[in-house]
Amino acid sequence: MSEADKTHDTYKQRRHFTRRGQITLTILLVVVLLLAGFLYSQRHQIHQITRSLIIPPPQSVHITPLTLPPGTMTPTQVTGTDWTTYHDNNARSGFVAGVADPTHLTNLWKQPLDGAVYAEPLVVNGQVIVATEHDTLYALDAHTGRIQWHTTVGTPVPLADLPCGDIDPLGITGTPVYDPQTDLVFAVAEIQGPAHILVGIDRQTGQVKVRRVVDPPGANPQTEQQRAALALYGGRVYVAFGGLYGDCGDYHGMVIASRTDGTGALLTYQVPTPREGGIWAPSGPVIDAQGNLYVSVGNGAVTQGNWDHTDSVLRLSPTLQLEDAFAPQSWQSDNASDLDLSSLGPVLLPNGLLFAHGKSNQGYLLHADHLGGIGKQIQTISVCSAGAYGGAAVSGQMAFIPCANGLREITLAAGTQLATGWQASQQVTGSPVIGGNTIYSLDPSGGMLYALDTVTGSVRATISVGATTRFATPTLSQNSIFVGTLTGIVAIGMK
């Protein structure tokens, strides 16, 4: 064999070895990746098992019910300076007319409390009512911030006792509601057990007058979370439930109704899905003039086949019977991708219209009295490219949507058509309220309150309020603004 032949043969062997080596390396790489995936899966399963072993099992909670004696309460007159529910009214519009537009904002007072404030503060007869995650309700003087009374209704649940979540400890999260007929402030507290209890607190004294468990039979209080604002209509308090952050466990979206005197059986509506379908938007149920409730529902377990009424807007009767529902054509893929409608409460608009938006970039204009089922929207419009979270505000033909990439104006431009308007800076994402021609919204991460012109979106004034939760929203009363923070509450003056 010549030297040339030997060289050629050696080259062929090397080339063959190189190809064989490449194949071997590829196989080894695939094996390593599969092994890594397997080990990650096992580690994740071990983590879940270990966490489930650490988390104490639910314990029975025995609550002695308290109910109001008949005919003992005198109705209280609510004035225009009061703010008795989330965004001021059952429509959750968050609009107060006749408020002067500020040129600057000033600090009035700051009051530290015993825990983080997720709920919107209420104002009744010169008192600011605040609830904390330490299961405490406070009444403060609106002018000075002095604490008039405080009542702790239970022991909150530490995050370590829950299978998932992002609030530690977990106490009162949903915004309370004030009932002028009984002069009671109603709130739902998560207490150790865990369990969810509805309490009615005497607004003047802080004394507990109503107390009952509101976990319906079969519900697992360890995986249910009460984040949505409470609502009040016709002598009933309405309470919506969703899941913990992380969607762990066998939870179901529900709405519960209790009589304000604490007597009688609970009314219950449960979303008909095998699991999930949480009703957790912070604005809670929206109620129209006839007492119908509108709620937005999260992703459910069903991603093919028949619609399970998740990724939806539902209309319920005052007695919690399902009357009508809407879901986008994409409900199956929305459920599979966690791009559902639950993150923003329904928005009631003029002319019997309703706007829905969720975690995707699509918004839907609907007929409130005929939601129509799957794909029956009047209009589909791109409003928030990063989704919408919290509660909106409405003034006339304008609505303001808390987009995750900056507050956005939409307008009813021609009867049943929406058009998009200005958009605020991307850090201004808080659920807005409106006073006169000024809209107030928070930059939660930066701890700043913004006052914006409703027509142009231009900034009138800003002020630091301290760190707040993502879903914090201001309260307006006369020339004051109240904001719950991670450490208490602050009062801001308009000038």
Residues 141-156, buried b or exposed e (16+ Cβ, 10 A)?
ebeebeeebebbbbbb
pLDDT of residue 414: 83
Counting every residue written for the chain, the total comes to 495
Confidence class for position 72, pLDDT limits 50, 70, 90: low
Which domains are delineated in the chain? 69-494 (2.140.10.10)
pLDDT exceeds 80 at position 174 = yes
Task: Compute the distance between CA of residue 115 and CA of residue 230 in angstroms, rounded to an integer.
Answer: 20
pTM of the model: 0.90
Confidence class for position 15, pLDDT limits 50, 70, 90: very low
Q: For residue 25, give the H/E element and its range.
A: helix 3-54
Quick one: how far is CA 265 from the chain centroid?
27
**Residues 83, 127: contact at Cβ < 8 Å?**
no
Sign of CA dihedral 245, 248, 249, 252: positive
**Residues 403, 358: contact at Cβ < 8 Å?**
no
Q: What's the mean pLDDT in 403-431?
A: 96
Alpha-carbon separation of residue 478 from 406, 435, 464 (angstroms): 27, 9, 20
Quick one: how far is CA 141 from the chain centroid?
28
In the chain, the amino acid numbered 248 is C
How large a percentage of the chain has pLDDT more than 90? 85
CB neighbours of 284 closer than 8 A, spacing ≥ 6?
Answer: 86, 92, 174, 175, 228, 229, 230, 231, 238, 240, 295, 345
pLDDT exceeds 90 at position 189 = yes
pLDDT of residue 54: 79
pLDDT exceeds 80 at position 486 = yes
Give the closest residue to 276 by CA, choosing from 362, 215, 350, 340. 340
pLDDT exceeds 90 at position 309 = yes
Task: Compute the distance between CA of residue 278 and CA of residue 293 in angstroms, rounded to an integer.
Answer: 16
- Token digits for 267? 């009314």
Burial class (CB in 10 A: 0-12, 13-18, 19+), 58: middle
pLDDT of residue 275: 97
- What confidence tens digit (pLDDT) does each residue in 258-270 have? 999 999 999 999 9
CB neighbours of 427 closer than 8 A, spacing ≥ 6?
Answer: 406, 443, 445, 446, 448
Conformational region of residue 246, where left means phi above 0, alpha means psi within -120 to 50, and beta covers everything else: left
**Residues 489, 469: contact at Cβ < 8 Å?**
no
- Token digits for 375? 């794909």
DSSP letter string, 419-469: EEEEE--TT--SPPEEETTEEEEEETTTTEEEEEETTT--EEEEEE-----
- Among the residue ranges 4-13, 104-113, 331-340, the one predicted with the least confidence is 4-13
